[in-house]
Amino acid sequence: MYPETRKEILDLLCHQICSPVEWIMQINWMYDNGVRTFIEVGPKWVLTTFARAICEEKENVIALPSIHPKKGEAKHFSELLTALSVYGYNIRYPSLESDFYTQEFKYPLEKFYITKPKTIRAAEKIVSQLTPFDVLLTDPELAKITTDEQFKDYLTLQAPAINAFLKAGYETYKTTIASALEEKRRTEKLNISTEAIGITGVSIGLPGRKRKVFAEDNFDAILAGENFIDPIPDKLREKMLDKNIVRLVKDAIKGAQFQAIKDVNEVIKLAAQKGEFDLRKEYGVKAEFTEVLDITFQLAFAAGIEALRDAGIPLMPLKVKTSVGKDIAKGWALPEPLRDETGIVFASAFPAYNNLISTISAYLSDKFAQQKLDEFKAFFEELISKIKDPQTKEQITSFYHQNIEKLQDDKDSRFQFSRKFLFEILSMGHSQFAQFIRARGPNTQVNAACSSTTQAIAIGEDWIRTGRCKRVIVIAADDVTNEQIFEWIGSGFLAIGAATTKENVKEAALPFDKRRHGMIIGMGAVGLVLESESAMRTRGVKPIVDLLGTHIVNSAFHGTRLDREHISSQMDQFLSIIEHRYDISRDEIAKELVFVSHETYTPARGGSASAEVAALRKTFKDMIEKIVIANTKGFTGHAMGAGIEDVVAVKILQKGIVPPVANWKEEDPELGPLNLSKGGHYPVKYALRFAAGFGSQLTMALYRLNTSSNRFEGVKYENWLKSLGGSLATLEVVNKTLLLREDPSVVSQTTLPVNAPPKQQAVTATTNKELVQSIIQLISEKTGYPVEMIEPNMHLEEDLGIDTVKQAELFGLLRNQFNLPREEGVRIQDYYSVNKIAEYLSSRLGAGAVAEKRGEITASAASASETIPRETILKEVLQLISEKTGYPLDMIEPDMELEEDLGIDTVKQAEIFGLIRSKW
């Protein structure tokens, strides 16, 4: 490539000398063509410094000098080789005999390897232990080499390079590997967990006076944008008027003014109120709990039970050993292996207020009633003394005694101070729920006003990270719109000017709308189950979403208003943490992000919308237009400390459906154009939740979709159930609670192997053919498969898709029809084909009994078929699935896979099977 003649060399040299040195361009060109390591050949390190400056913004660039006069050529060059070795380059040191060296190169070195070094006698070892260099000799090959006579010469010659290599390498080791190992040791000693954390179960209780609080279709309803806000009864409006409220009125033109409320039309007229709910009847919770639980705690209990069911965590019989040594079942509890590793955080802004106000009201009512009774007695005595007519006096006296006796005899109406008063008014939802399910992990409550639930999730994350537990159940509830306390809480929001007084919900619930002027008060309850990666893996469950992180701060700014600048900086900081932690840019997140807002549609000045949008614009810049913005308070009102948005964020990602923003019409110029959700499907993968509470309390959480369906990993989940002593066959839903009863056939067994059992061999001659046909007929009737399609050797689950639950059902029917007793220790999975079942039955029956039962089965099947037509059963089953899932009837096909096509997981299937068993 280079010229060889004198003229050509001179021409090129002139051109090179006369041309400018395009140093930066050359470095960039080399980088673009894959060069990442630059070595300066020559004295000092000027060019090295230039190269580092040019590549400052580039990744994975190494620039090293090779010769520095102050260090010495040999030493510095050895350090260069050492550094290259540390960076992963394979440095080879050829021996002096290698053809690599020329004779001219070797000549100056001959004096070093011709002259043998002096042998110095080694000092005697004082202690018998390995030195650092003895460690090297543990390698047999190296130990053998050291016995070679030339090895010492080699060491003498290479000593400078080896010494430099060891020194530089050790320094690098201390600052990198050793530091990392020490950090790992410290982390292990402190029990710090770096595992992923996921949410495996969620639940929601919603308002609506004409619906159940924990209706089966709650999530579908809120995602569809249904309204849960109702008018307030006139009685409550009158009670608010009676409070003599002076209201703060915020006007954009006139500013803030105080206005005395003198008319019922000036009070709150809308609220999201509790509908049908009975913890004892719906969930089977005993009176010993319900009698002391405030309504807030009762709602939280239900939310926790529902969330456990969604997570596939069953309750098991709580066995108590009696004085005579016998075990008896006393209630239900978490499986024993889960109790010590499960924590609970209860979140609420107004816990136990209902009980407190009800008790005080009952006391005052009784006190003033007694006072009036005493006044009535005094009035009667005075009146009767002044009446002269005997007949009139007798009539009045008779009337008085008849009614006064009734009032005095009605002792039940008299107030009595409750012995359980302290338990009724303390915020103990967390400890009471722990007692109910026997969760012995960390346990606390949090009141961060309206950001309570999100902060509880953050606490749960911290607990798992610090090794306090592997699982946290977050339960949250608030009910301030009920008859006992709404007159107080509602009046409080009205007095500070935060609540709307409009009567039409479409004119009142206006999130992000220019017309927004005040919020609507609501109620609700939620539950979430957070688990560490190892805990999920043990259970054979995948999370719905990954919890990527949380962020808790306080703006230290104002009781009700929000600090825009501080919120903006904190959201920006939170996303920076996420970027660093997961190596993902905020721009990538924004492309698939739904922002689940806190927006309460209070007046614009100091309101939530303004602060949230400002934070989004600072954090995501122009990418804000890609972010879908959601809001639920337009449909549910403000549920106080119950974070409806937190669980809705999870379900948005799971279902890919974002609820619309309610009643939005007018764009607010201050907020600018926003990508507000119109409802329906959106391609979202991340959900950013922002929550703000009175007192400048801020919390944020970021979720990422993990698994939208098929969360329970078949064999692994069943293995886990079996390790607890149960099975899918004994998993059921009773009183909305997922329960696992012991399965005697698996209590003493090992777990089901992941590999399927070998295929059934050819049927034995002793197996009764009529019996085989009877079993095939029954399978056909119960599954819908044509008889001719079912082969005796087919694997029931792998070939026919008959899962363990259905197999158990078939086995039970066969036992009943052949009058066989239930046997302990029978493993259903051992009888995985028709032939295997036939062999089992044949071993328990004689040939005559088989033939006799064959006729009975056929007659029984015909009778059943005549009694209830298959079409009728199919129609009712489809109707039941529709009611429990929300799918329209015309959308469900009989041949659809429950889990694959309809997303009905194992837990929901168990619930449906339970209902079917109860019905037939």
Q: For 127-186, what is each residue's pLDDT tens digit? A: 446 677 777 777 788 778 888 888 888 888 888 888 888 888 888 888 777 777 777 777
C-alpha 671/C-alpha 661 separation (Å) is 15
C-alpha 645/C-alpha 647 separation (Å) is 6
Q: For the whole model, what pTM was predicted? A: 0.65
For residues 244 and 205, which has the higher predicted lDDT (pLDDT)?
205
Instruction: Examine the pLDDT at 816 and tell me if it is beyond 80.
Output: no
Q: What is the pLDDT of residue 865?
A: 44
At 220, list the tokens.
């579908």
Instruction: State the virtual CA torsion across 307, 313, 319, 320 in degrees, nearest 10.
Output: -50
* Cα angle 604-610-614, degrees, rounded to a multiple of 5: 160
Using pLDDT thresholds of 50, 70 and 90, give the confidence band for residue 535: very high
Of 880, 884, 879, 877, nearest to 904 by C-alpha is: 884
Check residue 662 and report its DSSP letter: T
Of 603, 614, 604, nearest to 570 by C-alpha is: 614
651-682 exposure pattern, b = at least 16 Cβ within 10 A, e = fewer: bbbbbbbbbbbbbbeeebeebeebebbeeeeb
Instruction: Examine the pLDDT at 664 and tell me if it is beyond 90.
Output: yes
Q: What is the pLDDT of residue 207?
A: 98
- The single residue listed with the structure tokens 């509830």 is 477
Q: Distances from the Cα of 589 to the Cαs of 576, 623, 626, 646, in angstroms?
A: 12, 10, 10, 18
- The single residue listed with the structure tokens 């005040």 is 518
- Other C-beta atoms closer than 10 Å to the C-beta of 244 total 9
Contacts of 384 (CB under 8 A, 6+ apart): 393, 396, 397, 400
C-alpha 442/C-alpha 444 separation (Å) is 7
Pairing of strands 471-479, 523-532: antiparallel
At 101, list the tokens.
């060296």
C-alpha 403/C-alpha 405 separation (Å) is 5
Q: What is the pLDDT of residue 762?
A: 40
Using pLDDT thresholds of 50, 70 and 90, give the confidence band for residue 889: confident
- Other C-beta atoms closer than 10 Å to the C-beta of 744 total 14
Alpha helices in 556-642 (DSSP H): 564-582, 586-591, 608-620, 633-636
C-alpha 333/C-alpha 352 separation (Å) is 25
Instruction: Examine the pLDDT at 849 and tell me if it is beyond 70.
Output: no
pLDDT one-digit tens code per residue, 537-571: 999 999 999 999 999 999 999 888 899 999 999 99
Q: What is the pLDDT of residue 111?
A: 57
> Any long-range contacts for 899-907 (C-beta under 8 Å, 24+ apart)?
899/709, 899/710, 900/709, 900/710, 903/708, 903/709, 905/312, 905/709, 905/710, 905/711, 905/712, 906/312, 906/712, 906/717, 906/728, 906/731, 907/309, 907/310, 907/312, 907/712, 907/731, 907/733, 907/738
Q: Distances from the Cα of 317 to the Cαs of 47, 672, 743, 819, 899, in angstroms?
A: 76, 57, 12, 29, 28
At 282, list the tokens.
């719906």
In three-state secondary structure terms, 642 is coil
Q: Which domains does the chain have, with CATH numbers?
A: 199-351+426-705 (3.40.47.10), 363-419 (no CATH), 749-919 (1.10.1200.10)
pLDDT one-digit tens code per residue, 102-129: 766 666 666 555 444 555 555 444 444 6
Asked which of 91-100, 458-467, 484-493 is least confident by mean pLDDT, the reply is: 91-100
Residues in the chain: 920
Instruction: Examine the pLDDT at 862 and tell me if it is beyond 50.
Output: no
Q: What values do phi and psi take at 172, rounded to 5? A: -65, -40
- To the nearest whole number, what is the mean pLDDT of the chain? 84
> Any long-range contacts for 880-885 (C-beta under 8 Å, 24+ apart)?
880/912, 880/915, 880/916, 880/919, 881/912, 883/216, 884/216, 884/908, 884/911, 884/912, 884/915
Using pLDDT thresholds of 50, 70 and 90, give the confidence band for residue 406: low
Instruction: Examine the pLDDT at 750 and tell me if it is beyond 50.
Output: no
